[in-house]
Structure 1
C-alpha cells in the first residue's frame, strides 16, 4: 500500500509541475509579445512623414 501511495503522490506532483511549466511558458510568450508590440511604432520616429 505504501509503494502504490508513493506512485500516486509522485504522479500527482509531476502533473502539477507540468501544468506549472506550461503556464510559465505561456506567460513568457505573452510577455514577449506585449513587449514586441510596445516597440511596434518605434519606426514612426525616424521615417519621413507622409503628410
Structure 2
C-alpha cells in the first residue's frame, strides 16, 4: 500500500510540474504574439521612406 501512495504522490507531482511548464509556454507565446501585433512595420517603413 505504501508503494501505491508513493507512486500516486510522485505521479501527481510530475503532472503538476508538466502543467506549470505548459502554462508558462503558452503565456510566453501569448506575450510574444501580443508584442508582434503592437509592432507597426508599415508605419516604420513609411517614416524611413519619407526621409529620402
TM over 0.5: yes
The runs of at least 4 aligned residues of structure 1 exceeding 3 Å deviation read none
Partner-residue secondary structure (3-state), 1:35: helix
Q: Is 2:24 the partner of 1:23?
A: yes
Aligned length: 44
For structure 2, which runs of at least 5 residues remain unmatched after alignment? 47-52
Partner of 1:6: 7
Cα distance between partner residues in 1 of 2:6 and 2:27: 32
Q: Do structure 1's residue 42 and structure 2's residue 42 form an aligned pair? A: yes
Whole-Å separation in 1 of the counterparts to 2:9 and 2:36: 41
C-alpha distance in 1, partners of 2:41/2:13?
46
